[in-house]
Structure 1
Amino acid sequence: MIRPVSDPIGLEVRWDRLAAATDEAASTMLRTAFSTIIRESNDYTVVLMDREGRTMAESRAGIPAFAALMSSLTALVLERFPAEEWQDGDCVITNDPWIATGHLPDIAMITPVFHRGRLVAYAGTVAHSPDIGGTPSLSATELISEGILIPPLRLFRAGRVDEGVKHLLLANVRLADQVWGDLEAQAAAHAVCRRRAQEFLADFDEPDFEEFAAQVHSVTDAAMRAAVRELPDGVYRSTVDADGVEGRPTHIACAVTVRGDEVGIDYTGSSPQVPFSTNSTLNYTRAYSMYPLKILLDSSTRTNWGSYLAVRVTAPPGTIVNPTFPAPVVARHLTGHLLSCAVYQALAPVLPDRVIADSGGAPALRVRFAGVDDTGRPFSLMLFANAGMGASKETDGLSTTAFPTNSGSGSIEALEAASPLRFLRKELRAGSGGRGRRRGGLGQDIEVRNPTSRPVQMVLLGDREQHPALGLAGGEPGATAQTVLDSGERVPLKSVSQLPPGSSVVISFAGGGGFGKPEEREPEFLVADEIAGYTVRGPERGPVTVRPARADGPEEVGR
C-alpha cells in the first residue's frame, strides 16, 4: 500500500540524516578495525532498521548486496530472540550461511535501540572476519570443514560480554587479536547508530520510527514498481557457465519474468549443488540478484527494505544457487557474483541502452596469503583487487573496478605493513578489455614476492580461467584470468599452494566484455587506446572461445 507523503522535503531531510548516521558508524568501524579486510577493502555493511527489522537507512560505502539481505537476516534472528526478550546493551552475532551473508567468514551483528524505555529499532552490521578457523580449501565437502559455525548467540548481555561465547569463538581461530578487534569495531559502530538514532527521535519529537519507516518504505517500493512497469511483460532468459572445480563446469539458468509492477527471477535448470565450496545459499543468491536489478532499473533512489518488495527470487533446493545444509560455501561468490551477468544478459533484448556486458570481476578473484615471518610472527592477508567492468552501449567499461560487489583494493602500503610480503608491481593489464564499439574495462597485473626464508601458503579463489566475461551486441569477451609463478608454472585459480622463499607470483585479473561490434569503434578512440597503452599487438590474450550465454526473446504472459 502506497502511503502519501505530505512533506517530501522534510522526509528527505530526515532520511538523509539517518543515512548520515550509518555512514558515521561505518567510519567508526573503519577507523577502529584491526584487519585490512575491513579498513582497506570495505568488506562490511551498516544499517539501521525499524522495530520489525526492516532496513530504513544503509551506509553508502561497504557492500550494498549485504544490506539487501539484512532484513531477512534480522527476521530470522528475531525468531530465535523475540523483541520482548531484548535488553538495552544486548548484542547477537551469527555467521550461519543460511541466515547471514552466505559463508562463515562474514559475522553479522544485531543490537537493539531503545528510546524512552521502549525498543524502537535495531542496528545491524556484517563484516568479513580475518579468520574463522577451519581449513582454507575448495576441496571441503561439508560446511564444518570451513570454520566455526556461530548460530545466533548473545555476545553481549545488557552491555556485558558473555565470556563463554567469546572464549569459545577465539579458541577456534588463529588470529584471535584481529578477530576480537574487528568484533569490537562492529560494536563501536553499533554504539554510534544507537546514539544517533536516539538523537534523531529526540530532535524530531517522535516516539518511534514507525511513521518514518512506513513512509521511506513506501517511497522506495513505489519507485521500484514504477521502474518495473516501464518494461514490457514477458519472460526473458539467459544462461551463464562457470569454470567450476576440478574440470567440472557449473551452469546457471536464469528466467526473468516481468508481470505488471513485479519481477520474478528464477534459476530452475541451474546445476545441482556441488561437493565443493562454490555453492551459493539462497539468501546470497537473492541479494546478488536483487541488487543488480535495483541499480539497473532504479539507481537514483536510496535502497532499503521497500526497494525489493517488487522482486521475487526463487531457485530449486539442492542446486548450486540454493544448496541444502551442510553444503560447503566459503567461495559462494564464485557463483553468486555471476548472477548479475545472468540477469543483465537476460534483459539485454529489452534494455539494450542500460545493461552492461559481463564484468571480469564477476566473480571476484580473491587471494589469501598466510604464513610465519622470519621473526616467528604468524600473518594472514586477503588480497582484494579488482578486474575490469563490462562496457555499456555508450561508455567503455571501467578498469579495475569492482562489480557487482563494492569491495575496495586497499593501499599497497597497508598490505605490506600487515605482512612481510612485497608488492613488486600493480598495473593495468594491457589488452585485457574485450573489443567492441565500446571497450571492456581493463583488468590488472599484480606481482607479489615472498622475501622471507619460509614458504607462504597461497589460497586462490577465482574463476574466469576458462570462461571469460562475455560481450554484448557483438562485443568480444575480455581476457581470462590467470596466475603464474616466476618459474613459469601456472597455478590454478581454485587451489591451495605454496609461494616458495624468494619467489614471486603474477596474478592477472580478467578484463570486462565489450559492447557492440569492434569495427564500429571510432578511429579517435582506437588511437587514444593505443597512446594510453590499453591495447596490445602480437600474443593472444588467452582462450576466449566459449559457448555464449543465450538471451531469448520474451514469452508473453498475462498482466
Structure 2
Amino acid sequence: DDIVVKLLSVDPSNYKDAPTEAIRRILSQLQPDLEPIPKGQLLPLDKIESIRMGTTVSTNALLERRGERCALITSKGWRDVLLIGMQARPDIFDLSITKLPFLYDEVIEVDERITQYQSVVSPRRPVPKDDASVVTNTTTGETIEILRRPDPAVVSKQLDVLWRKEIRSIAIAFVHSYLWGEHEDIVAKIARDKGFEVSVSSTLQPMIKLVSRANSSIADAYLTPVTRRYIESFGSGFEGGIEAFGNKLLFMQSDGGLCTWNNFSGLRAILSGPAGGVVGYSRTCYDQDRGSPLIAVDMGGTSTDVSRYAGKLEHVFEATTAEVTDANLVLGRLLPEHFPKIFGPNENEGLDIEASRNLLDQLTQEINSGQSDDLSMEQVAAGFLRIANEAMCRPIRTLTEARGFECASHHLVMFGGAGGQHACSIAMTLGIRRIIIPRLSSLLSAYGMALADVVCEMTEPAAFILSNAKDQEAISSRMSALVHKAELDLRSQGFPPDRVSSESYLNCRYHGSSTQLMIETPQDGDYEKTFFEEHKREFGFNLSERSILVDDIRVRAVGKSVGQETRSPYKDFDEAKRRSCNIGRFEKKKVYFDGPGWIDTAVVPLQELSRGEQVQGPAIIFDDTQTILVEPTHLATSLPEHIVIDLVEENVIERKIDLRDLEHMDPVQLSVYGHRLMGIAEQMGDILRKISISINIKERLDYSCAIFAADGDLVANAPHIPCHLGAMSHAVRHQARIHGDTLDEGDVLISNHPAAGGSHLPDLTVITPAFHGGKIIFWTAARAHHADIGGIRAGSMPPFSKELWEEGAQMKSFKLVKSGKFDEEGITKILSEDPAKYPGCSGTRTLSDVVQYYMHAMMRTAENAVRDLLRHVHKKFGGKPLEAMDWLDDGTALQLKIDIDQEDGSAVFDFTGTSAQVYGNLNTPTAILYSAIIYVLRSLIVSDLPLNQGCLTPIKVIVPPGSLLAPNDEVAVCAGNVESSQRVTDVIIKAFQACAASQGGCNNLTFGVGPREVDGKKVDGFGYYETIGGGAGAGPDWDGQSCVHVHMTNTAIGDVEMTERVYPVIIHQFSRREHTGGAGRHRGGDGCIRDIEFTEDLDVAILSQRRVVPPYGMAGGEPGVVGANSWLKRTSDGKDWTRINLGGSNQCHMTKGDHILIHTPGGGGYGVPGTVDDRLDEEVYRRSVVAPTRANGSVASFRAAQMSG
C-alpha cells in the first residue's frame, strides 16, 4: 500500500530538510519492530531502491534573488543585451517602469564577432572557397563570416578580474553562437581551467535569438550552483554522501522527464514541481482509447499552473493568483477540524478561522464605505472567489480557444491543495461538463514523479526547406544521429534496449513567419501534411504558396520506468455499479454558495465511499490531504482512484439586473466581464502576432487590439501600444457613422486615413462588427504597423514628406471582407501590392444586453476614477490652472492649460497657443491627441483599471483648427504619430508635474531598396522599420529606466540574430549611452547607442526628435542629454570613415560598408541633485486611487487584500 506523508516545505524548528525528514519517517514506518530512526542520524541507502524528487530550490532562488553571484560574458558591443532586452516596458501605464533586478553582477565584453554571410532578402553574395574567415560547416549549414576571433591572453586577464571580485560562475552568450560555438568553447575552456562554473549558451539552448539564449545561460549560471549545493546538502543526510547514490537519486526536470542528480541543473529545475503534476494527471486521468482531451489546473494556495494534455505533453502556462484560503475558510468550504494540524511551532495547530473572519470583516467595512449598497462579509468573500476563478479561466482560454480547441470539449482535472474547492465553479465558467479529481490530488506532483520516465532530450538548430528532397535526406540523417546519441545516453544509465524508446520532432514554420509548430514525426512520415493540418486547426488557414522551413530538430529519448499500473477513470466509471449514497448518515455543516446563501451541506469522508457510490451536491468530500466541494445539484461518483463530478444543467444562477441602473452595478460581475473582454482582446493580439509574416508585427509587436461598444467607445484593450488604443475609438466611430445599419454579418472594414481616426498611413486598422439579433452590439478592431504601403520612400516613413499622398496608400473606409468573402482584388488595387493577411479580428461571442450593460458600467467606473483623480489634483495645486509649454526641435510650440472643476471632477484641456500645422510631417491627427490624454490620465491612476473611453468622459478638449494638433486632411502626418505624440505626452505630464520628460520620440529608422535588376534578373525590393528606445524620466520616488520605449509606444526591437539573418546588416553595438540621463535627486534614464553597418547599398532614413530641445527636468532636476544621428561614410580607400551629422530627420543613400550611428536621448532628472527625498504627505501620482472598481472588489483589491493577510 502507498504511504502518504505530507510535511510543511519549510519548518526549521522541527527539521532541517523536508524531503530528508519524510524519508526518515517512511523508513521508520517500514520497520515497526525497530526503534524509529532519530532525527539527525544518517539514513541508510541499502533499503532504498530509488528516490525521485522535484524541488523548488531553483524557483525560490530566482523569485527571491538568492542565487549565485555571476557574470555575463558576451560579444563586444552587446554588454547591455539583457538590460535592454526587447526594450519594451512590462506595464504600459507604470510611469516608473518597474523592472526586476538583474541576475548578474558583472559583464565582460570579448572582442569577437561572427555574422551571417548572406541574408534572406539578399542571398546573392557568392561564397569564396579559400577564405578562412568564411565558415560553411555550421550547425544549420548556413554560411557565417568571422569578423574577429577572441584573443585567449586578453580573455584570461578579463577572467582574472572576475575571480578577484569573488565571482565563480559565468554565462557565455556570443552573437550567432547557435550557428557556430567555437568562440564560446574557447572562452569556456579558459574559464573552466581557472575553476569557474560555466554555462555555455550554444550548449544549453542552441536556438536563434541572442536575448533568450543569454537569459537562459545567465539563469543557469545563477541557479545551478545553488541547486548543486542543495543536492550535496541533501546527500549529506545519507550514509556515504551524495556520491553513494549512483543512479538511485533522480530529479524531475521542467520538461516532465527525470534525470540523474549529476545531470540536474538550475535551468532544468525552474518548473520541476509543476512538471510532476502534469505527468501525474497525464498518467492517471487520460485514457488513450477514449482520447478525451484534458485541461488541468494545479491550484496551490498562492499560484496556479494550467496545462493541456491530449496524448502528448504540451506547454505549461503559469497564472499567479491571490491567496484564496481565507475566503474558502470563511464560507465554510474548508474543514478546520479535519484539516491536517501541521502548523505552529509544535506542528499541532490547525487553520485559524477567526483570523480569516477578522481580515474579511475589515475588508468588507472598507468596501461598503465606498458604495451605497452594503455587502455582507460572505458576499465579499464569494465575490473574491468568483473573480479569482475568472482570472484562472483566462489562461485556460488562451491554452484552448486561442489555439483552435473548443474549451467545452475538454474534461477538467483539478489537483493541488486548493483545486477541489474550485473545481465546480471553474468548470461551470468554462462550460465543461465533467471533472476528474485523482484521489491523491493534493499529492499529484509527487505521485507524478513516481510514474515519470527518465528522459534525455537533445535539440539541434537547422535551416532546411521541408519540401526539398536534398534537405529531406539531411533531416533524416541528422535526426537518426540525434536519436542514436540520446538513446546511448540512457543505456549508459543502465536502461536495457527494450525499455528505451524515442520521439522525434521538427520545429517548422512558414517562410516569412516566426510562429513555429513542433511537429512530431507522423506515422506516414508526411511532415508537410501534418503541418498543414496543425496550422489550419490553430489559425484557420494555410499559406500553401509559401515554403515550410525547419528551424530545429528535436529528439526526446525515454527510459521507461518500471512502476505500478494506473487505472482509467473512464473504464472504472463504465464498469462501476453506480448508486445513490445515503448522505443522511453523514454530519452536516453550513456552507455559503453564491446565490442561495447558506445551505446545509453533507460532510463526507472519502474513505467511507465505496466504488460506484454517488453523492449529489451540496457536499464536501474530504480526506487527510484534500477537500472537494460538490456544488448544489452536481453529481460526484466515487471510483477506486478518482472522484468524477458530472455537472448538472439546473445549477445556473440567474442574476437579474436593471439594465438602466449604472449606479448599483454588481461589482463582482463588472470585474468578471472585464476579465472576459480583456481576455478576448489578448487572444486577438496573440492570433495576429502568430499568423503575421511582417517583422513589424511578429517581432516588434507594433500592433494593438481592443473591443468597442456599439457606439464605438473603447471598452477593453490588451496592453499593446498606447498611441493606438486611444485613437482607435475615433476610427471605429467614423465607420459606425458612415455605414450606419448597412453592414451585414461577415463584413470587415479597413481604414488608415487620419481624417477617419487613423494615426499615420502605415497603421492599418481592421474593424469587425459583432451582431446579435441583427444589430451591432459591439466592435472589435486591430491596428498594426505595416513596413511599406507605398509613398516616396521605402518604409513609408519619409523624413521630408509635406503632403499626405507622399506617405502611401490612403483608405478612409474600405470593405475588406463582404459577407465573409475577402475582397482581394479591391485591396490589391488600393495598395498596388499583395495584401497583408487578414489579421483575424475574430473571437466575437454571441452576447446579450447584459454584456452591453457591463461595457457601459466599466466605462462609468473609469470615469469616476478620473474624476476622483482630478479632484485630488485640484486640491494639490490649490485650485490653480495647470499650465505647460514645450517646443519641437523645429521651434513649433506646444501649449496646454488645464482648468479643473472641483465640484464635478471635470477638466478642460485647452491647447490654444499651439503653433499652426507645419509644412512637413510632424502634424498630429486629433485622434492621436486624445490617445495622449487618455494615456496620461490612466497612468496617473495606480490601480487595476482597464483603459477605456470612460477616462475621457470628464474631459473637454479645445484644439485650434488648422494647428499642429488639428491639421487638415491633406498635410503629411507620419511623424505626428511617432514623434509629436511623444512630445504632446511630455507636455501633459509636465502640466501635472508627475515626472520629468522622457526621451520624447521613437527614433524611427527605416532602410531598404526598391525592385531592381541583378545579373539580368528582376529582384524584389524590401523595406525595414524599427524604433529605438531611450531614457525615461525620473519621478518623485524613482530613477528613470534606461534603454526603454516610453509613453505612446511599446514596440519590441528585433533580435540581432534574426535581423542579421534576414537583412544585409551587421549591428555592431546596441548598448546603454552612459551618463545621458539628467542629474537629480532621482536621475533620469540613459539613452541607447545603436551602430548598424550595411553590407550592400541601401536607402536609409531617420526620423527623430529631441536632437535640439533636451528632455526637461522636474522639480529642480536637470535635463537629459539630446540625441544625435550620424552617417559614418566609408572613405574611398575603404580604410576609414568620415562622420556626417544627419540632424534629427534625414534620408540618404548609403553604400556597402557605411554605418548609421544613432544616439538616443536620456530622460530628465527629478529633484535638486544631492537633496533628500521630501515627498508630500499626500502624493497624488503614486498612490492607489480608491476608484469604484477597486472599492467594489476588483482583481487589484482582491490581491491587495489577500496579500495583506
- Within a 5 Å distance, the mapping from 1:389-428 to structure 2 comes to 389-405=1032-1048, 406-428=1050-1072
- Within a 5 Å distance, the mapping from 1:446-457 to structure 2 comes to 446-452=1090-1096, 455-457=1097-1099
When normalised by structure 2's length, the TM-score is 0.39
Question: What does residue 328 of structure 1 align with?
Answer: 972
Question: What does residue 238 of structure 1 align with?
Answer: 884
How far 1:68 sits from its partner (Å)? 1.5
Among 900, 903, 920, which residue is 1:258 paired with? Answer: 900
Is contact 1:278–1:331 with CA below 8 Å preserved after alignment?
yes
Question: What does residue 382 of structure 1 align with?
Answer: 1025
- The more displaced of 45-54 and 22-31 is 45-54
Hey, what's the Cα distance between the residues in 1 that align with 2:825 and 2:1127?
45
How far 1:207 sits from its partner (Å)? 5.0
User: For the structure 1 residues 6 and 265, does the alpha-carbon distance in structure 2 shift closer, same or farther, using more than 3 Å as the test?
Assistant: closer
3-state SS, counterpart of residue 475 of structure 1: coil
Question: What does residue 525 of structure 1 align with?
Answer: none
Q: How many residues align?
A: 488
Question: What does residue 506 of structure 1 align with?
Answer: 1157
Hey, what's the Cα distance between the residues in 2 that align with 1:119 and 1:313?
29
3-state SS, counterpart of residue 307 of structure 1: helix
User: For the structure 1 residues 465 and 211, does the alpha-carbon distance in structure 2 shift closer, same or farther, using more than 3 Å as the test?
Assistant: same
Question: What does residue 515 of structure 1 align with?
Answer: 1166
Is contact 2:1086–2:1162 with CA below 8 Å preserved after alignment?
yes
Question: What does residue 1080 of structure 2 align with?
Answer: 436
3-state SS, counterpart of residue 110 of structure 1: strand
Instruction: Say whether 1:368 aligns with 2:1025.
Output: no
Q: Deviations over 1:487-513 (max 9, x none)?
A: 221112211112221122211111000
- Within a 5 Å distance, the mapping from 1:30-429 to structure 2 comes to 30-60=689-719, 62-82=720-740, 84-115=741-772, 117-136=774-793, 137-171=798-832, 176-177=833-834, 180-181=835-836, 183-184=837-838, 186=839, 188=840, 190-191=841-842, 193-194=843-844, 197-198=845-846, 201=847, 206=848, 209-232=851-874, 233-244=879-890, 249-260=891-902, 261-297=905-941, 300-332=944-976, 333-348=978-993, 355-360=994-999, 362-371=1000-1009, 376-405=1019-1048, 406-429=1050-1073
Q: Deviations over 1:434-481 (max 9, x none)?
A: 1111110111101101112xx211111101111111111111111111
Hey, what's the Cα distance between the residues in 1 that align with 2:1036 and 2:808?
44
How far 1:25 sits from its partner (Å)? 0.9
How far 1:69 sits from its partner (Å)? 2.4
Q: Deviations over 1:258-300 (max 9, x none)?
A: 1121122111111111110111111111211231122124553
How far 1:336 sits from its partner (Å)? 1.9
Is contact 2:726–2:928 with CA below 8 Å preserved after alignment?
no
How far 1:312 sits from its partner (Å)? 2.1
Hey, what's the Cα distance between the residues in 2 that align with 1:412 and 1:257?
47
How far 1:251 sits from its partner (Å)? 1.0
Hey, what's the Cα distance between the residues in 1 that align with 2:892 and 2:775?
50
- The more displaced of 503-512 and 50-59 is 50-59
3-state SS, counterpart of residue 1053 of structure 2: coil
Question: What does residue 470 of structure 1 align with?
Answer: 1112
3-state SS, counterpart of residue 900 of structure 2: strand
Is contact 2:997–2:1112 with CA below 8 Å preserved after alignment?
yes
Is contact 2:1030–2:1044 with CA below 8 Å preserved after alignment?
yes
User: For the structure 1 residues 392 and 277, does the alpha-carbon distance in structure 2 shift closer, same or farther, using more than 3 Å as the test?
Assistant: same
3-state SS, counterpart of residue 1067 of structure 2: strand
How far 1:347 sits from its partner (Å)? 1.9
Q: Deviations over 1:153-208 (max 9, x none)?
A: 1011001022342221231xxxx45xx33x42x2x2x12x22xx33xx3xxxx356
- The more displaced of 363-372 and 380-389 is 363-372
Question: What does residue 261 of structure 2 align with?
Answer: none
Is contact 2:729–2:757 with CA below 8 Å preserved after alignment?
no
Q: Deviations over 1:506-538 (max 9, x none)?
A: 11111000111223379xxxxxxxxxxxxxxxx
Q: Deviations over 1:366-395 (max 9, x none)?
A: 110112698944221112220110000111
3-state SS, counterpart of residue 209 of structure 1: helix
Is contact 1:429–1:508 with CA below 8 Å preserved after alignment?
yes
Question: What does residue 8 of structure 1 align with?
Answer: 667
Amino acid in structure 2 at the alignment position of 1:89: G
Question: What does residue 555 of structure 1 align with?
Answer: none
User: For the structure 1 residues 387 and 282, does the alpha-carbon distance in structure 2 shift closer, same or farther, using more than 3 Å as the test?
Assistant: same
Hey, what's the Cα distance between the residues in 1 that align with 2:949 and 2:1112?
32
How far 1:26 sits from its partner (Å)? 0.2
Hey, what's the Cα distance between the residues in 1 that align with 2:981 and 2:1110?
16
Is contact 1:2–1:222 with CA below 8 Å preserved after alignment?
no
Instruction: Say whether 1:490 aligns with 2:1141.
Output: yes
Amino acid in structure 2 at the alignment position of 1:509: T
Amino acid in structure 1 at the alignment position of 2:960: P
Q: Deviations over 1:397-431 (max 9, x none)?
A: 01112121222223222322332222111111111
| Percent identity of paired positions between Structure 1 and Structure 2 | 24
Q: Deviations over 1:88-142 (max 9, x none)?
A: 1101111111222321111111111123554322111111111121113333322
3-state SS, counterpart of residue 231 of structure 1: helix
In structure 2, list runs of 5 or more residues that go unmatched.
1-659, 1129-1137, 1174-1205
Is contact 1:227–1:298 with CA below 8 Å preserved after alignment?
no
Question: What does residue 78 of structure 2 align with?
Answer: none
Relative contact order (alpha carbons < 8 A, sep ≥ 6): 1 or 2 greater? 1
Question: What does residue 543 of structure 1 align with?
Answer: none
Hey, what's the Cα distance between the residues in 2 that align with 1:144 and 1:370?
20
Hey, what's the Cα distance between the residues in 2 that align with 1:382 and 1:134?
14
Hey, what's the Cα distance between the residues in 2 that align with 1:101 and 1:153?
13
Is contact 1:5–1:215 with CA below 8 Å preserved after alignment?
no
3-state SS, counterpart of residue 447 of structure 1: strand
User: For the structure 1 residues 499 and 521, does the alpha-carbon distance in structure 2 shift closer, same or farther, using more than 3 Å as the test?
Assistant: farther
User: For the structure 1 residues 11 and 208, does the alpha-carbon distance in structure 2 shift closer, same or farther, using more than 3 Å as the test?
Assistant: closer
3-state SS, counterpart of residue 15 of structure 1: helix
3-state SS, counterpart of residue 165 of structure 1: helix
Amino acid in structure 2 at the alignment position of 1:155: L
Is contact 1:49–1:123 with CA below 8 Å preserved after alignment?
yes
How far 1:4 sits from its partner (Å)? 2.7
Hey, what's the Cα distance between the residues in 2 that align with 1:122 and 1:63?
19
3-state SS, counterpart of residue 426 of structure 1: strand
3-state SS, counterpart of residue 85 of structure 1: coil
Q: Deviations over 1:5-64 (max 9, x none)?
A: 44312221221021111101101111111112112222221111222222221112x212
